[in-house]
Amino acid sequence: MTGFVFHPGHDEWHGQTVLVYTKGARVVAGRWDAVNGGVLLMRDAAVHEEPATRAGWVAEIKQYGIPVAHRTFELPHAEVERVVRLRDA
């Protein structure tokens, strides 16, 4: 599905439920909205900051869903190391 844009005018991640791994310990799960002015905006997000329990946390949200803690969440795009669809994690 490379190159598919969920909504015209947005990037290919728009509307996708993803895991965003940062250059630090933080992982954010939620729906990718947009990158504007160097800031990634996510919707219905949860944040995990413990590297030792990361794999278990990911497995739990894949099974039970994202425990939404932030209706909107902003993250400097420069902190993003990699992005994967939650279903592919």
pLDDT, residue 11, reads 73
pLDDT, residue 12, reads 80
Angle of CA points 38, 51, 70, to nearest 5°: 50
What does the alpha-carbon distance between residue 35 and residue 53 come to, in Å, rounded to a whole number? 28
Residues of the chain with pLDDT under 50: 1
- SS3 of residue 7 by DSSP: coil
In this structure, what are the phi and psi dihedrals at residue 69, rounded to the nearest 5 degrees? -115, -20
